[in-house]
Structure 1
Amino acid sequence: MKFDIHTHHDRCGHARGTIRDYIEAAIEKGLNIIGISDHSPYFSSEEDQLYPHIAMGKSEFPKYINEVLQLKQLYSGKIEVLLGVESDFFPEDVDRYRSCYNAYPFDYIIGSVHHVDGISIFKKDRWDGLTEQQKIQTKETYYNLIEQSARSGMFQILGHIDAMKGYYPSFSTIQTKAVEHTLKVIGEHDIAIEINTSGKTKDVGGWYPSDEILEIACFYGVKVTFGSDAHDPNRVGDEFELVQKHLKEIGFKEWVYYKNRKRMNVIL
């Protein structure tokens, strides 16, 4: 069973290709399942499309849903298409986002923290001039937000849970007990984390999360899934087999995907 649950397309403004392009790429690469999970709109904004190069407009959201559902039917028998979304997590707006999602038949929702203290986690200079204590506090705030997202009950999957290292590789060396605590909470709430291979497109290289985090996740019984986080059809399913092999080496016995928000277990 070969799957990829994390893909984007041109609606978000920073990915290349249509939804159909990603489905066709998945078929070409021999995938059994392809999940479409573009970036959620900023539902709490008064503007339709607050950041045109980051996320789709609110008016596009129903069109996105309908297109995925139509393609799910069109490609039935060729590949299973899953309806997902990568949702930003803002604690103050959980109820608003939840109500937007509950209106649609999602197979799964990926919860991702993209902002800490109001600043993008991918802003390259956000670490400049910070003291070691401020760096620790920033990391702890990040993992507190991830913990809150796990407790929210809104998500089946948590996305790229150490992506702050993307343009700041030293992030992984900042010592704090918050990481292990957060993984323990994720395990207790029976939510999956993704192994996301898009780290290779950033300064850090490699995958999200680190081996250290995966080993702790395995200890706490955290479920894992696979996502390329493709923003180009060429990256669909990227390094699936390598991730599969490495998870076995760490000690995982299975990984998961979701249909109708229910977990499907797959032996590694």
Structure 2
Amino acid sequence: MKFDLHTHHDRCGHAQNTIRDYIEAAIAGGLQVIGISDHSPYFGSSEDHAQPLIAMAKSEFPRYIEEVLQLKKEYEGKIDVLLGVESDYFPEHTAIYQQEYAKYPFDYIIGSVHLSGGVSIFNRNRWNKLNEAQKIEQKEEYYRLIAESARSGMFNILGHIDAMKGFYPAFSDIATPKVNETLKIIGESGVAIEINTSGKTKDVGGWYPSREILEQALHYGVEVTFGSDAHIPGRVADDWEEVRQTLKEIGFKQWVYFKNKQKQVVQL
């Protein structure tokens, strides 16, 4: 059973091609399941399209849902198309996000922290002029938000849980017990984490999260899934087999995906 739960398309403003193109790429790649999970609108903003190069407009969201559901029907019997969304996590706006998501029949929701301390996690300049203590504070705030997102009950999957290393590889070397504390909370919350292979498109290379974090995730009983985070159709299921083999080496026996919010277990 080959699946990929994390794909984007041109609505978000920084990915290419249509949803259909990603589905066709998945079929060509031998997948049985493809999840469509573009970036959620900024529901907490008063503007319809607050960040046009980051996420779709609020007014576009119903059309996104409608298109995925139509394609789900069209491709039935060829590939299982799942309706997802990659949702930002803003603690101050959880109620409005939950209210919006409750309107639609999502198969799953990915919760991702993209802003920490009001600054993008991918902003390499955030690390300039910080001393070691301040770097630890930055990392701990990021994991505090991830732990809070796990406890929120909003998400089935947590996205790229060490993506802050994307343009700052030294992030992984900042020592803090907060990472393991967060993994313990994730395990207790029953939320899965994704192995996201888009780290290879950033300075850091490789995957999110690191092998070390995956080893600790296994220790804390955290379940795992797969997401390429493809922003072009050619990256659908990128490194899927390599990820599967790595998980087996670490000691995982299974991974999961979600359909109708129900966990589907796939043996490795």
TM-score (norm 1): 1.00
Q: Match of 2:120?
A: 120
Distance 2:99 2:225 in 1: 25
SS class of match (1:108) = coil
SS class of match (1:140) = helix
Amino acid across the alignment from 1:48: D
Distance 1:29 1:125 in 2: 38
SS class of match (2:194) = strand
Q: Does 1:179 align with 2:160?
A: no
Q: Which runs of 5+ in 2 are unaligned?
A: none
Distance 1:265 1:191 in 2: 14
SS class of match (1:265) = strand
Amino acid across the alignment from 1:77: G
Q: Match of 1:81?
A: 81
Distance 2:70 2:27 in 1: 17
Amino acid across the alignment from 1:168: Y
Q: Match of 1:130?
A: 130
Shift of 1:261: 0.6
Q: Aligned-pair RMSD on alpha carbons? A: 0.4
Q: Match of 1:247?
A: 247
Residues 203-239 of structure 1 show CA distances to partners (whole Å, capped at 9, x for unaligned) of 0000000011000000011000000000000000001
Distance 1:265 1:12 in 2: 30
Q: Match of 2:153?
A: 153
Q: Match of 1:219?
A: 219
Distance 1:246 1:91 in 2: 34
Shift of 1:29: 0.5
Distance 1:71 1:11 in 2: 16
Q: Please list, as runs of the form range in 1=range in 2, the aligned pairs for 1:1-268 lying within 5 A after superposition.
A: 1-268=1-268
Amino acid across the alignment from 2:243: V
Distance 2:124 2:172 in 1: 15
Shift of 1:145: 0.1
SS class of match (2:86) = strand
Residues 101-151 of structure 1 show CA distances to partners (whole Å, capped at 9, x for unaligned) of 011000000000000110000012110101111100000000000000000
In percent, how many aligned pairs have the same letter? 69
Amino acid across the alignment from 1:239: D
Distance 2:179 2:265 in 1: 25
Q: Which runs of 5+ in 1 are unaligned?
A: none
Distance 2:95 2:215 in 1: 33
Amino acid across the alignment from 2:199: G
How many residues align structurally? 268
Amino acid across the alignment from 2:19: I
Amino acid across the alignment from 1:213: I
Shift of 1:162: 0.0
SS class of match (1:125) = helix
Distance 2:212 2:92 in 1: 31
